[in-house]
Chains A and B, each alone.
Chain A
Amino acid sequence: MDDLNQNPKLGSADRPNSYIGRSVPRERAKKLLEGKGKYVDDILLPRMVHLSYVRSPLAHAKIKSINTENAKNIPGVLDVFTIDDIEKVCSPWQGVLGHLGEMRSPTQYPLAKDVVRWQGEPVAVVVANKRAVAEDASELVEIDYEDLDAQLDMETAMDKSTKVIHDDLGNNLFWTRTVNQGDVSEAFKQSHIVEEVTLDFARHTGVTLETRAIVADWDSSEERMTVYHNGQAPHMMQSIIAKHLNITEGLVRIISCDVGGSFGIKVHVYPDEMVTVAVSKLLKRPVKFVADRLESYSTDIHSRCHKISGKIGVDDKGKILGFEIDDLSGIGPFSVYPRTSAIETNQVLNLSAASYVVPNYKAKGTVVFQNKTPMCQYRAVGHPIAVAITEALVDKAANALGMDRYKFRKINLIPDNSYPTKTPSGVPLEDLSHEACIEKLKKMMNISELEKYKKESLAKGKYKGFSIINMVEVTNPSPAFYGVGGAPISSQDGASIRLEGSGAVHISTSITEQGQGTEAVMQQIAADQLGVKIDTVRVTHGDTDATPYGGGTWASRGAGIGGEAVLKASRKLKENILNIASVIMQSEVNNLDVQNDQVIRKDGGEGISLKDLAQIVYYRGHELPPGTNAELIATASFSIEGIPFVFTNSAMGCLVDVDVDTGLTKIEKFWAVEDCGTQINPKLVEEQIRGGVVQGIGGALYEECIYDEMGNLTNGNMADYLVPMAYEMPDIIVDHVTTNSGRSILGAKGAGEAGTGGAPGAIMNAINDALIPLNTEVTSQPITPEKVLKALGKI
Chain B
Amino acid sequence: MSGVSLKPRAPFEARVDFSGITPAVTCPLTLRELEHLPVPHGARSVKLAELFFIESAPEGVLLIEGGDERLDGVGAGMLEGELIVDGPVGAWAGRGMGGGVLRIAGDAGDFLGAELSGGRIELAGKAGAHAGGASSGSRRGMSGGVLKIGGSAGPRAAERQRGGLLLVAGDAGEGLATDMIAGTVSVGGAVGPLAGRGMKRGTIFLREVPALPAGFVDTGAHELIALRLIARRVPELAEVLAGWTLARRIVGDTLLGGQGEVLAPE
Is the pairing of A and B real? no
Which residues of A pack against B, CB within 8 Å?
none
